[in-house]
Amino acid sequence: MAVPVAFFAVFFAYPVAAIVARGLKTDGQWRSGRIADVLTQSDIRHVLWFTTWQALASTALTLLIALPGAYVFARFDFRGKQVLRAVVTVPFVLPTVVVGTAFLALVGRGGLLDELWGVRLDTTVWAILLAHVFFNYAVVVRTVGGLWSQLDPRQEEAARMLGASRFAAWRKVTLPALSPAVAAAALMVFLFTFTSFGVVQILGGPTFSTLEVEIYRQTSQIFDLATAAVLTLIQFAAVGAILAVHAGTVRRRETALRLVAPETTARRPRGAGQWALLGGVLASVAVLLVLPLGVLVQRSLDTPGGHGFAYYRALASDDGGAFLVAPVTAIGTSLEYALAATAIAVVIGGLAAAALTRRDAGRLVRGFDALLMLPLGVSAVTVGFGFLVALDEPPLDLRSSWILVPLAQALVGVPFVVRTMLPVLRAVDGRLREAAAVLGASPWRVWREVDLPMVRRALLIAAGFAFAVSLGEFGATVFIARPDNPTLPVAVARLLGRAGDLNYGQAMALSTILMVVCAVALLLLERVRTDRTGEF
């Protein structure tokens, strides 16, 4: 327990506190009056308003589109279901930068829709909303569908035997059992969209800006640290509130439900209605999830001289512009950083999860559970900038060290590791550990002999998620990655920020590579996935 606490104290709480202090403290005096100053600015209030309503709209839209999907995945058996399940999860682990780029290629200037029908959505909020749906579809399908598939259909049958109609049985029996999962999924989606950065940065243009984007702008372009600090605090408070509500719904979700093996609840669709539902879900997956990625790949190959690998080849050459090195070296850098970040995240997250499962874990430790989720929501930009500000003095002078980037990325990876490991560790029957102890196993032996064999798969999956998330981390990395050592997402963003077909094409090509790496990592994981591996 001490190690994860220390890790979070030094690499999360301290940098964030430092950056807030830098903004709000002048001559050693706290100036809380600034909070009010900032809040009265009309453009800031506009940002707050937009952040909130786009998150609400994204959440509603995602639920609307993904809930039928959750039902189809839970209750229907059809060919290719496993593959499809993997496909819908790919977007979730994709870097925000890739998603932004893909939607730009679909609905932006010169994008597919523009070419076909002259429709451009990149200047409207729809591009952002659709990208958010794209991202979070898997969150809903996994969280809600996972539970739905384990609900015993006989409960509904029992209600029908007592005289309830099919719909009444669903409404009175299934929906109440499901609603905590729906609430939890909705809150996660809200959290992710509320703090959205990469997508809005690329698709929002000058008109649309979320809190996180505004923090980035204030910090890196206007150098108004005070405003950035206030915005960070606001976001911190909002995220804390969301997480508190989320923790509440999780607790409610743990109320005893009769769960059965998912294989037993799914059956072939029957009748026109059910086939139409299946068809509709497949179509929405094709249009919303597969099409943007397809367009991305197509754009990366669509060079002025016909289809070819020119953009990919260009990646290998020094262009001397925004980069000091050839963009292709970003691939190697990214992989190295992501591997290091994964190792850190697995160790820290694993220790934290193990500590959280101990039966004698007190209230304090349980509170840490929710605290571990904070890095998911707290401004990554702040963390990144905080690293630069806070970790520049001995004994912690890491500013010039390569480890800085993996450390920041690991912060985002840890929550995924904890979330994946906790349910599995909690599912290990405590008496199995006791049986081992009575047979003479010391606590450490018990962990090795009983826990480890059971969580090995979960550990692998957790590592995979941490890897994908680290690979795609953008908000913090964009600050601390050194110009001569950009990661893939940073390189993509820089290429997009520059004019010219070649840069655009290279961004598409680099995004495609990033997508392929993430997708491959995820598809490998799907092979080892068990059904009891948490929410993601």
Partner 1 sequence: MLELAGATVRFGARAALDAIGLDVAEHEIVSVLGPSGSGKSTLLRVVAGLQALDAGRVCLDGRDLGGVPAHKRGVGLMFQDHQLFPQRDVGGNVAFGLRMHGAPRGEQASRVRELLELVGLPGAASRPVGELSGGEQQRVALARALAPRPRLLMLDEPLGQLDRSLRERLVVELRQLFGELGTTVLAVTHDQGEAFALADRVVVMRDGRIAQSGTPLEVWQRPADAFVARFLGFDNVVEATVSGEAADTPWGKLPVPQGSRQGAGTLLVRPAGVRLVDRADGLRCTVAARTFRGTHVAVQLQPDGAPRLEAACALRDAPAPGDVVGVAFDAAEIAVLGGPGGA
Residues at the interface with partner 1 (CB under 8 A): 429, 431-432, 434-443, 445-446, 449-450, 453-454
Q: Which residues make Cβ contacts (< 8 Å) with residue 461, sequence separation at least 6?
A: 420, 525, 528, 529, 533
Q: Which lies closer to partner 1 via its Cβ, residue 427 or residue 520?
A: 427
Q: How far is the CB of 456 from partner 1 (least distance, A)?
A: 9
Tell me the closest approach of the beta carbon of residue 453 to partner 1, in angstroms. 5
Kindly tell me which of 225 and 425 has the beta carbon lying closer to partner 1: 425
* Least distance between partner 1 and beta carbon 487 (Å): 39
CA distances from 507 to 322, 331, 332, 370, 389 (A): 13, 13, 17, 37, 30
The helix (H) or strand (E) run that includes residue 26 is: strand 25-26
Separation in Å, CA 136 to CA 15, 72, 246, 254, 418: 29, 17, 16, 23, 19
For tokens 């600034």, what's the residue? 34
Crossing angle of helices 501-528 and 452-472, rounded to 10°:
170
Which CB atom, from 260 or from 502, has the smaller least distance to partner 1? 260
DSSP tally for the chain: helices H, then strands E: 28, 6
Nearer to partner 1, 77 or 429 (CB): 429
Q: Tell me phi and psi for residue 21, to 5 degrees.
A: -65, -40
| Shortest distance in whole angstroms from residue 528 CB to partner 1 | 15
Q: Smaller CB distance to partner 1: residue 250 or 432?
A: 432
Tokens 């304090």 — which residue?
364
Minimum CB–partner distance for residue 355 and partner 1 (Å) = 19
- DSSP state for residue 393 in the 8-state scheme: E
Q: How far is the CB of 450 from partner 1 (least distance, A)?
A: 7
Alpha carbon distance 13, 216 (integer Å): 19
**Residue with Cβ nearer partner 1 (116 or 438):** 438
Kindly tell me which of 367 and 453 has the beta carbon lying closer to partner 1: 453
State which residue, 326 or 441, has the beta carbon closest to partner 1.
Answer: 441
| Minimum distance from residue 466 beta carbon to partner 1 (Å) | 25
Q: Would you give the end-to-end CA distance of the chain in angstroms?
A: 24
Q: How far is the CB of 263 from partner 1 (least distance, A)?
A: 16
Q: Shortest distance, CB of residue 420 to partner 1, whole angstroms?
A: 19
Omega into 395 within 30° of 0, i.e. cis?
yes
State the Cα–Cα distance between residues 230 and 24, nearest whole angstrom.
8
Residue/partner pairs of 459-463 with CB below 8 Å, 24 or more apart: 459/346, 459/350, 459/421, 460/525, 460/528, 461/420, 461/525, 461/528, 461/529, 461/533, 462/346, 462/349, 462/350, 462/416, 462/417, 462/420, 462/421, 463/342, 463/345, 463/346, 463/417
Task: Provide the minimum distance between the beta carbon of 434 and partner 1 in the complex, in angstroms, as a whole number.
Answer: 5
- Which is nearer to partner 1, 282 or 437 (by Cβ)? 437
Least Å from the CB of residue 454 to partner 1: 7
Closer to partner 1 by Cβ: residue 332 or 453: 453
The minimum distance between CB 367 and partner 1, in angstroms, equals 22
- Please, which residue, 93 or 421, has the CB nearer to partner 1? 421
Torsion sign, CA atoms 403, 406, 408, 414: negative
Rounded to whole angstroms, how far apart are CA atoms 50 and 120?
21
Provide the sign of the torsion angle of the four alpha carbons 360, 364, 367, 372, taken in this order: negative
Closest listed residue to residue 139, CA positions, set 196, 175, 75, 187: 187
Residue at token pair 């606490």: 5
Q: Which is nearer to partner 1, 268 or 448 (CB)?
A: 448
